């Protein structure tokens, strides 16, 4: 597939900003090339623009070469970079399914790109034909969120494959919740599909939402062009250090992940026993979408008891649903007690 045809002409033509750290990458004795303050305080130097230590460690964990990775200031930055590489404002469109992550419509507004929403079927099922039929010659990207937020389920592998194989555009699979899922990441298919971009994040299972570190994995061609437009020092020094520390402490990651999964099971059984709960949607994420008779009333009631859940009642297929994140064991007990107290 000719990816270049999908890239905006001005982006293909641009000369990237070349930072001092780009031009000289060896180890030197004297660093007086970047107008930094020379007095050491841990952050007086600009950070590595390509975050190589973090990428090397990610490469070991994910089994993906570093040249197939880009790291952003949260996946929100990564998604924005993808928009700006491919979508010509006022001309191009992107396609996403409905319901899905709330950032895609915002990015469309900000970048002045048309959003074509295709409704999921009952049970949050992706219909590949409908998604493909919604596209035209100005479609640049299909955004697929799997496991999906707010529904929590993995979207169907067969349907996603059809969208990839239609070759109607770039397919971005947002895998913010993949670590909680009983499925392989789509990063295993990168070699097979040149139009595939997989986004992940350290914000959820890795427990580092405050750091703002998001990743994307794609062909070297796509990564090169994303690197060309990203702000040079987009991931700050402290975030790189803390990200590396966390990635080097896989035991803690595994331990917390196991606890969250156990707590999710407990929460599901506890909710299933409550008469008020009409449905618990199947979830491959760290949250549960739960249907009740009156989501607004329950939401307000919990709020009065200082418990905040996400009211998703206005979303398509989510009428009277609240989204509950799995918290600490203590928080989860409070939530269950709170719901039980609701009359
Ligand atoms: C939470 C979430 C993200 C994470 O965004 P960051 O900017 O990396 O914190 C991305 N996509 C989806 C669908 C999410 O729910």
Quote the pLDDT of residue 24: 76
The string of pLDDT tens digits covering residues 22-58 is 777 788 899 988 999 999 999 999 999 999 999 999 9
The string of pLDDT tens digits covering residues 60-116 is 999 999 999 999 999 999 999 999 999 999 999 999 999 999 999 999 999 999 999
The string of pLDDT tens digits covering residues 273-318 is 999 999 999 999 999 999 999 999 999 999 999 999 999 999 999 9
* CATH code for residues 251-341: 3.90.1150.10
Pocket-testing residue among 76, 79, 147, ligand 1, by greatest number of atoms within 8 A of Cβ:
76
The residue contributing the CA closest to ligand 1 atom 2 is 176
Q: Residue 176 Cα, ligand 1 centroid: separation in angstroms? A: 5
The residue contributing the CA closest to ligand 1 atom 10 is 176
Please count the residues of the chain.
343
Atom of ligand 1 nearest to the CA of 148: 13
Quote the pLDDT of residue 138: 98
Quote the pLDDT of residue 329: 97
* CATH code for residues 3-18+47-248: 3.40.640.10
- Residue 49 φ/ψ, nearest 5 degrees: -65, -20
For residue 209 and ligand 1, the question of a CB distance below 6 A is answered with yes
Cis ω for the linkage preceding 99 (within 30 of 0): yes
Average pLDDT, rounded, for the chain: 96
Quote the pLDDT of residue 261: 98
- Checking if the pLDDT of 21 tops 80, the result is no
- Residue 170 φ/ψ, nearest 5 degrees: -70, 140
For residue 325 and ligand 1, the question of a CB distance below 6 A is answered with no
Domain ranges of the chain: 3-18+47-248, 251-341
Quote the pLDDT of residue 16: 82
Alpha carbon of residue 89 to chain centroid: 23
């Amino acid at each position: 597939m000719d990816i270049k045809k999908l890239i905006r002409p001005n982006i293909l033509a641009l000369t990237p900003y070349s930072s001092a750290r780009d031009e000289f990458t060896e180890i030197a004795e004297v660093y007086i090339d970047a107008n930094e303050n020379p007095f050491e305080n841990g952050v007086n130097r600009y950070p590595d623009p390509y975050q190589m230590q973090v990428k090397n460690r990610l490469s070991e964990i994910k089994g993906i070469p570093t040249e197939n990775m880009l790291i952003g200031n949260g996946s929100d930055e990564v998604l924005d970079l993808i928009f700006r590489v491919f979508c010509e404002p006022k001309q191009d469109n992107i396609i996403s399914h409905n319901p899905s992550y709330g950032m895609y419509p915002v990015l469309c507004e900000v970048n002045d790109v048309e959003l074509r929403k295709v409704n999921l079927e009952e049970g949050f099922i992706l219909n590949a034909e409908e998604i493909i039929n919604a596209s035209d010659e100005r479609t640049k990207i299909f955004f697929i969120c799997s496991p999906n937020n707010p529904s929590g389920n993995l979207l169907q592998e067969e349907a996603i494959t059809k969208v990839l194989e239609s070759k109607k555009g770039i397919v971005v699979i947002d895998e913010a919740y993949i670590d909680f899922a009983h499925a392989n990441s789509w990063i295993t298919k990168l070699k097979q599909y040149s139009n595939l971009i997989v986004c992940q994040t350290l914000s959820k299972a890795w427990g580092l939402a405050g750091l703002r570190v998001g990743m994307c994995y794609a062909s070297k061609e796509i990564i090169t062009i994303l690197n060309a437009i990203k702000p040079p020092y987009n991931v700050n020094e402290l975030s790189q250090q803390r990200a590396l520390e966390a990635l080097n402490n896989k035991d803690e990651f595994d331990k917390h992940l196991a606890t969250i999964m156990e707590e999710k099971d407990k929460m599901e059984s506890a909710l299933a026993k409550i008469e008020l709960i009409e449905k618990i949607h199947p979830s491959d994420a760290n949250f549960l979408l739960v249907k009740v008779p009156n989501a607004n009333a329950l939401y307000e009631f919990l709020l009065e008891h200082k418990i905040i859940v996400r009211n998703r009642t206005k979303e398509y297929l989510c009428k009277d649903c609240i989204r509950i994140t799995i918290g600490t064991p203590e928080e989860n007990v409070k939530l269950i007690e709170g719901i039980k107290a609701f009359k």
